[in-house]
Structure 1
Amino acid sequence: MRVDGLLFDKDGTLFDFGATWNGWAAQMIARFAAGDTALAGRIAQALEYDLQAQAFLPESFVIAGTNREAAEAVAGVLPQGDVDQIETDLMLAAAEAPLSPAVPLGPLMDGFLSHGLQLGVMTNDTEYGARAHLREAGVEDRFGFIAGFDSGFGAKPDPAPLLAFADHAALSPGRVAMVGDSTHDLIAGRRAGMQTVAVLTGVAGTEELAPLADVVLTNIGHLPDWVSS
């Protein structure tokens, strides 16, 4: 086996980013704007979101950013915006977002576990949201390590949360693959001394991810062949 552990990003990796978050974001912008079309436009601009296309722009910081960063952007344009309250509102609403798994997750993770691999999730979302989504998808119990940006280890591209997984699993970082859809994921993986696997179920394309990845896969369903090759 090429690795002893797999550490997954969540959004854009375990779950297709656009199918899960684009429509949800339009609903949240409308909710914060409360019928004010001009304000909705300013919120969308702050989040780097295209209201007409109902999709995040490829360069949007939200794609790989933290819940706090998104809350700060919204608060910056809302009259008397309370960033703490907005952060809580986003966390609770995100936990109920309609999920679109990139592939059937249960059988894939069970296959990895049957080969003795240790599995983890590290997301720049909240830990609360990560656990809610994994629970909804029926796979929370497959992961021995689940961390968000607020779990005390830091946020990607800092390698610290990745190394926390390696420590938790008692694995050498070089025997772990960081699997993600953004440069944040891959930079963190490289900094941690891990192998890096890019997937194309987020917003970034091959040309952006390939320089930082050991391999670029269409989705995580292709991981078993790579792991065993």
Structure 2
Amino acid sequence: MTTKPPGYKTRDRQWHPPGLTPAYKTSVTRSPTRALISMPTSAGEEAGPVFGHDILGPMDNDLILNWAAPGEMAMGPRILVRGRVTDDNGRGVGNTLIEVWQANAGGRYRHANEGYRAPLDPNFGGYGRVMTDAEGYYEFRTVQPGPYPWPNGMMDWRPSHIHFSLFGHSFAQRLITQMYFEGDPLIWMCPIVGGIDDAEAIKSLVAALDMAETLPMDARVYRFDIVLRGRRQTFFENRWEGL
């Protein structure tokens, strides 16, 4: 006998901002124009695939070296990003696959359609991935990305940020968010961030500088914890069904 999978929790629209945010110009064409519907998920979407540590390469969590030529490394301020993925009861969520991608220290992405004139770093690819341990903790090494201009408004710049993609036990359980850096004045000027009308939600996206854990003569440490559900959940860009 088979049973139907229970499905995913509905998005909390009281917490997440509307899809239409006119100051963020591309949201005007991207936002829905008709009433939303919820499509049922299949057993395959909910039950698999199962992720494991065997899919990770030895350098996947080191963006300073994972694209670099032998004997070389990425240029820029070296940082460690550490944190924990938890549920709404504070319990660690283990074996969560986290993928990250970002601009280089000059604010440029390694992308064919990149329009910013800052130089590429030949030893920096800008992406990596890591699995949380049994208690939900993760860590990766990278360089702090630079801010960059974007064609939203004449004076608009994106603050320094790192994109996060979290997977549960299937591809249907994917959540996407962005991590910003404590003390960056551009955070509060960004039209994308401005689409979030809850200051606490914005604060949940800002990584705290942890000088007590800084590696002497090597790297600063930023702490970025991610809460999947509940009143203190991290803001996710695409949380329609969610983990």
Over alpha carbons, which structure has the higher Rg? Answer: 2
Fold-level similarity (TM above 0.5)? no
Of Structure 1 and Structure 2, which has the larger fraction of its residues in helix?
Answer: 1
Structure (1 or 2) with the greater strand fraction:
2
TM-score normalised to the size of structure 1?
Answer: 0.30
TM-score scaled by structure 2? 0.29
